[in-house]
C-alpha cells in the first residue's frame, strides 16, 4: 500500500508539470523514461473509457521504447531534446507498422510502411511514441467519439480532438495535430491547453493525410507555451518532398520563448470577421482582458476586404479536398458522413476560375496585416466563439481560425479564460508569417502575466 501511495503522489506531482520541467527531470535522471511512461499509461487506462482520446494504444509498445531510452541514457552518451517525453500523434500521421486509419472506415486496417517526417524527427529527438489519437473523419468536421475531459457531455473540438483531449487530461504532456481551418487552435481552446499552429510550411507534411496542399499545417499541443515551443523546435525543418518548406536556420523557438522581451509586448485587439457569432462571455472576457492590459493594447478594425476571407478559404479548402479525396468520394458513398460527402460535392462544383482567384487572397490579406504588425507584437482575438458547446454532435465553430490558416500566419492558443460553466476559453495570438519565435515569447509573457 505504501508503494502504491508513493506512486500516486509521484503521478500527481508530474501531472502538474509542463513538458520543459519534465524534460529537465528526465535529463538529470531525477525521473526515468520508464517512470514517466508508467504514469501516462496508468492515466490512460483509468480515463480512456470516458474520454476516448486514442485510436491506437499499446502499453507494452510504450514500455519497450521507454526501457530502450533508459538503457541509452545509462551509456552516458548525449540524449535528444525530447528524451523520454511521451507524444501523442493524430491518426492522420503515418507511423511505420502502426495503424494510421485517418478516422475513416475506408482506411480501417491501414498500416503504413514508413514514418512521416515528423515521426522520424520525434524518434531522433528521443520522444516516446505514445500512440495514435482520435481524429474526425478524414480530418474534416464529422465529430469523433472523443469527449471533452473538463465535461464529458461537451465537444473537445476537432479535427485534432484526441490530441487536445489527451494533453488536457494529463494522458500525455505533448501531442501533434494538424490544422486546415481551425483544428489545432479551436480544440486547444475548448480543452484548456496551448495549441500552436506555426507559419505555413514550417513543419514538413510528408506522410500526413493531404486534405489541402495550400492550407494544411502541422501543429502541436502542450500544457503551456514553453512546451509547445519545445516540441515545435524539434519539428521545424526542410523536406524536399514538401514544396511548402524552405531551407532556413534553426528557429530557436524555446530559447526565444523563454527569453525576457526587451519591452512588454503590445497587442492589437481585433474583432475579426464573424465577431457577432462570439458568445457574450467571450466578448466580455476579451474586453476585460484589454482593460487589464491597459496601454499594452490598442483596438483596431480590419478593412472590409477581410470579410471575404472565410469564403475564399472555403473555396480553396473544398476544391483541393475534392481532388485529394477523390478516392474516398468514389468508393465511400455508403460509408462517409453526410457532411463529408456534402463538402466533397461542393468542392466538385467549384470553377477553376474561382479556385485560382482564391489562391491570390493570402497575398492580399497579408499585405493588409503587414501595417498592423508594424505597430504590435501580436494580434489578440478569440481562439473560438466561446466555451466548448454542449453535446457531441458538432466540433464547434471555426469562424475565428480560417483567416489565419488562409494567410499562413502563426497562431497560438493561450488558455487563460474561464466561462461561467467552468469550461476553459482560449485567447488567440497571431503574428506575422515567419515570426513564430517572437509570437511564442509573447504567448509565454501573457500566460505568465495571467497567472500572477
pTM for the whole thing? 0.97
Active-site position among 90, 161, 189, 214: 90
Q: Is the peptide bond before 159 cis (omega within 30 degrees of 0)?
A: yes
Active-site position among 32, 132, 144, 159: 159
Active-site position among 32, 163, 183, 322: 183
Q: Is 12 a catalytic residue?
A: no
Which residues does 237 contact at the CB level (< 8 Å), separation at least 6? 117, 121, 203, 204, 245
Q: Is 90 a catalytic residue?
A: yes
Q: Which residue has the cell 480544440?
A: 187
Among residues 70, 56, 58, 63, which one has the least CA distance to residue 26? 70
Domains, the chain, in order of start with CATH, read 2-257 (3.90.1300.10)
pLDDT tens for the chain, 452 residues long, are 344 665 566 666 777 899 999 999 999 999 999 999 999 999 999 999 999 999 999 999 999 999 999 999 999 999 999 999 999 999 999 999 999 999 999 999 999 999 999 999 999 999 999 999 999 999 999 999 999 999 999 999 999 999 999 999 999 999 999 999 999 999 999 999 999 999 999 999 999 999 999 999 999 999 999 999 999 999 999 999 999 999 999 999 999 999 999 999 999 999 999 999 999 999 999 999 999 999 999 999 999 999 999 999 999 999 999 999 999 999 999 999 999 999 999 999 999 999 999 999 999 999 999 999 999 999 999 999 999 999 999 999 999 999 999 999 999 999 999 999 999 999 999 999 999 999 999 999 999 999 99
CA distance 324 to 319: 9
Q: Is 335 a catalytic residue?
A: no
Contact status, residue 204 vs residue 117, Cβ threshold 8 Å: yes
Amino acid at each position: 500500500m505504501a508503494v502504491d501511495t508513493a506512486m500516486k503522489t509521484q503521478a500527481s506531482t508530474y501531472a502538474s508539470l509542463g513538458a520543459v520541467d519534465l524534460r529537465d527531470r528526465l535529463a538529470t535522471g531525477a525521473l526515468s523514461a520508464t517512470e514517466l511512461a508508467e504514469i501516462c499509461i496508468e492515466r490512460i487506462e483509468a480515463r480512456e473509457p470516458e474520454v476516448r482520446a486514442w485510436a491506437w494504444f499499446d502499453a507494452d509498445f510504450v514500455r519497450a521504447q521507454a526501457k530502450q531510452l533508459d538503457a541509452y541514457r545509462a551509456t552516458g552518451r548525449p540524449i535528444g531534446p525530447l528524451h523520454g517525453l511521451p507524444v501523442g500523434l493524430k491518426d492522420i500521421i503515418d507511423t511505420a507498422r502502426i495503424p494510421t486509419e485517418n478516422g475513416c472506415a475506408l482506411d480501417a486496417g491501414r498500416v503504413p510502411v514508413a514514418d512521416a517526417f515528423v515521426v522520424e524527427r520525434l524518434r531522433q529527438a528521443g520522444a516516446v511514441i505514445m500512440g495514435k489519437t482520435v481524429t474526425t473523419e478524414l480530418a474534416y468536421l464529422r465529430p469523433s467519439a472523443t469527449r471533452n475531459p473538463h465535461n464529458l457531455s461537451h465537444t473537445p473540438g476537432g479535427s485534432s480532438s484526441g490530441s487536445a483531449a489527451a494533453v488536457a487530461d494529463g494522458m500525455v504532456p505533448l501531442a501533434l495535430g494538424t490544422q486546415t481551418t481551425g483544428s489545432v487552435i479551436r480544440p486547444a481552446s475548448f480543452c484548456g491547453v496551448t495549441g500552436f499552429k506555426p507559419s505555413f510550411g514550417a513543419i514538413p507534411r510528408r506522410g500526413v493525410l493531404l486534405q489541402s496542399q495550400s492550407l494544411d499545417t502541422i501543429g502541436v499541443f502542450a500544457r503551456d507555451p514553453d512546451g509547445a515551443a519545445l516540441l515545435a523546435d524539434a519539428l521545424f525543418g526542410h523536406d524536399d518532398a514538401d514544396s511548402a518548406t524552405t531551407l532556413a536556420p534553426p528557429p530557436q523557438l524555446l530559447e526565444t520563448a523563454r527569453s525576457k522581451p526587451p519591452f512588454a509586448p503590445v497587442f492589437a485587439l481585433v474583432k475579426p470577421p464573424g465577431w457577432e457569432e462570439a458568445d457574450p462571455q467571450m466578448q466580455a472576457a476579451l474586453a476585460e482582458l484589454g482593460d487589464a492590459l491597459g496601454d499594452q493594447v490598442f483596438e483596431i478594425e480590419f478593412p472590409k476586404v477581410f470579410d471575404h476571407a472565410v469564403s475564399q478559404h472555403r473555396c480553396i479548402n473544398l476544391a483541393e479536398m475534392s481532388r485529394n479525396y477523390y478516392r474516398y468520394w468514389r468508393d465511400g458513398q455508403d460509408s462517409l458522413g453526410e457532411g463529408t460527402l456534402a463538402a466533397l460535392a461542393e468542392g466538385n462544383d467549384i470553377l477553376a476560375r474561382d479556385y485560382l482567384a482564391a489562391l491570390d487572397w493570402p497575398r492580399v490579406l497579408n499585405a493588409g496585416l503587414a501595417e498592423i504588425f508594424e505597430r504590435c507584437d501580436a494580434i489578440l482575438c478569440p481562439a473560438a466563439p466561446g466555451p466548448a458547446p454542449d453535446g457531441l454532435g458538432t466540433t464547434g465553430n471555426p469562424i475565428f481560425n480560417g483567416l489565419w490558416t488562409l494567410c499562413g500566419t502563426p497562431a497560438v492558443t493561450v488558455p487563460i479564460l474561464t466561462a461561467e460553466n467552468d469550461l476553459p476559453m482560449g485567447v488567440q495570438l497571431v503574428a506575422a508569417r515567419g515570426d513564430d519565435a517572437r509570437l511564442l515569447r509573447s504567448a509565454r509573457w501573457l500566460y505568465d502575466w495571467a497567472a500572477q
